[in-house]
């Protein structure tokens, strides 16, 4: 008879809790309006209260059952465990909402950056809350934690030293997302390398050099040296997968002598363009007269070889170089080489 009474209490209590939660949810949603965040918080809170009430009803019904032994310890232990799990879930949800609202106020950039920050912080927050919940649950069921605390204290020092550098890289990652010194597809000059930003990770940033190689730099090394950001004003290289080099971008300079006529100087970019267009597996990008050198008039050439085969790329580069020499010879244009002109001013000596 007592078992039937316990089952009746359990069924009636769960039904009443469910009906009250549904009614409370409906009424509260009408009061909070159409705000998505508020409605989500209300739903999470009402669901947690319903689970708390179901746990309480289960304990209340069990007290009516005629059972002796370790059953009480098992039921009470499971009730505490359920309470801890629901509490951690609610606190985690609330903290994530608060953190999202905080980032919305302090970071007015793109929503993708805020999403990346939340994505990085969620695992840390979840581990922290579950660690606290586990310690609380073990203490509530009477587990002696003195030995555990000793082990954790000793191991925590080693873990802290091991995680010192990863933690520094993580905070540099947060700084990059918040301060935005550069963004995806920006062209950077850093550490003597010119490269496009491909991906900013929690520990490192992937860059794609002008020649096509994949350059990986830790966030701290990237931010602890002078960095020049040219923005996204240049055409980005073709996309790659898994870090593979799918093209080679060749950039180099050549110089012609100072005696080169102006008309020939104006024709040089077009001559080079025609040479590269006439070469298989070569794509012209640019050719400009960039500076007056110490002994030459300097041009900078950039073209793309769409292959990751080194031998084939060198064959193409050789063909381009020979083609430029052939075109210049036909036009009477001479390449410069380091020269130095010495001007001597002779002064007649006079006898005193």
Alpha-carbon span 319 to 21, nearest angstrom: 78
Q: Residues with Cβ < 8 Å from 183, sequence gap 6 or more?
A: 197, 232
Per-residue pLDDT, averaged over 16-25, amounts to 77
pLDDT band at 232 (very low <50, low <70, confident <90, very high): low
Alpha-carbon span 204 to 176, nearest angstrom: 11
pLDDT band at 332 (very low <50, low <70, confident <90, very high): very high
User: Residues 38-79: pLDDT tens digits?
Assistant: 777 777 777 777 777 877 777 777 666 666 666 667 777 777
User: Residues 142-198: pLDDT tens digits?
Assistant: 767 666 666 666 666 665 655 667 667 777 777 777 777 887 778 888 877 888 888
Q: Is residue 304 a contact partner of residue 283, using CB atoms and an 8 Å limit?
A: yes
Return the CATH architecture of domain 183-229: Roll (2.30)
Question: Which contiguous run of DSSP H or E holds residue 99?
Answer: helix 71-106
Higher pLDDT, 54 or 279: 279
Alpha-carbon span 210 to 195, nearest angstrom: 6
What's the Cα-to-Cα distance from 264 to each of 44, 61, 295, rounded to whole Å? Answer: 76, 99, 18
Cα angle for residues 181, 187, 193 (degrees, 5° grid): 100
Most confidently modeled range among 82-86, 211-215, 232-236: 82-86
Q: What pLDDT shows up at residue 241?
A: 46
Please tell me if the domain spanning 183-229 has the same topology as the one spanning 248-331: no
What are 301's strand-pairing partners?
252, 287
Domain positions in the chain are: 2-166, 183-229, 248-331
Please state the length of the chain: 352
33 is written with which tokens? 């309006």
Query: Token match 């805020």: residue?
Result: 114
77 is written with which tokens? 């232990």
Question: Which contiguous run of DSSP H or E holds residue 111?
Answer: helix 111-140
Alpha-carbon span 271 to 286, nearest angstrom: 12
Mapped onto helix, strand or coil, the DSSP state of residue 316 is helix
pLDDT band at 114 (very low <50, low <70, confident <90, very high): low
User: Residues 282-325: pLDDT tens digits?
Assistant: 999 999 999 998 889 999 999 988 877 778 888 999 999 999 99
Give the domain 248-331 fold: Alpha-Beta Plaits (3.30.70)
Question: Measuring CA to CA, which residue among 330, 318, 328 is closest to residue 257?
Answer: 328
Does 352 have pLDDT greater than 60? no
Does 205 have pLDDT greater than 50? yes
Per-residue pLDDT, averaged over 81-98, amounts to 81
């Amino acid at each position: 008879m007592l078992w039937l009474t316990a089952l009746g209490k359990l069924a009636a209590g769960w039904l009443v809790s469910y009906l009250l939660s549904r009614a409370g949810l409906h009424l509260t949603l009408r009061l909070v309006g159409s705000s998505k965040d508020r409605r989500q918080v209300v739903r999470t809170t009402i669901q947690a209260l319903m689970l708390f009430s179901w746990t309480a009803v289960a304990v209340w019904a069990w007290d009516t059952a005629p059972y002796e032994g370790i059953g009480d310890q098992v039921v009470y232990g499971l009730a505490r465990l359920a309470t801890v799990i629901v509490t951690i879930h609610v606190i985690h949800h609330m903290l994530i909402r608060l953190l999202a609202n905080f980032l919305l106020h302090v970071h007015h950039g793109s929503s993708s950056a805020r999403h990346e920050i939340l994505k990085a912080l969620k695992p840390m927050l979840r581990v922290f809350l579950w660690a606290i919940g586990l310690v609380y649950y073990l203490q509530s069921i009477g587990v002696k934690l003195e030995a555990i605390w000793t082990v954790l204290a000793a191991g925590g020092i080693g873990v802290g030293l091991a995680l010192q550098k990863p933690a520094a890289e993580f905070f540099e990652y947060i700084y990059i997302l918040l301060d935005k010194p550069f963004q995806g597809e920006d062209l950077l000059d850093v550490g003597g390398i010119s490269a496009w930003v491909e991906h900013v990770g929690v520990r490192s940033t992937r860059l794609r050099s002008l020649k096509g190689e994949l350059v990986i730099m830790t966030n701290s090394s990237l931010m602890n040296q002078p960095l020049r950001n040219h923005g996204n004003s240049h055409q980005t290289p073709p996309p790659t997968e898994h870090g593979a080099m799918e093209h080679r971008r060749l950039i180099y300079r050549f110089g012609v002598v100072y005696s080169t006529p102006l008309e020939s100087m104006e024709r040089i970019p077009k001559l080079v363009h025609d040479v590269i267009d006439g070469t298989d597996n070569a794509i012209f990008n640019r050719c400009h007269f960039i500076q007056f050198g110490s002994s030459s008039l300097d041009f900078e050439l950039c073209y793309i070889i769409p292959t990751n085969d080194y031998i084939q790329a060198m064959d193409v580069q050789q063909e381009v170089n020979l083609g430029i020499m052939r075109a210049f010879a036909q036009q009477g244009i001479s390449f410069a080489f380091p020269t130095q002109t010495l001007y001597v001013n002779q002064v007649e000596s006079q006898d005193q």
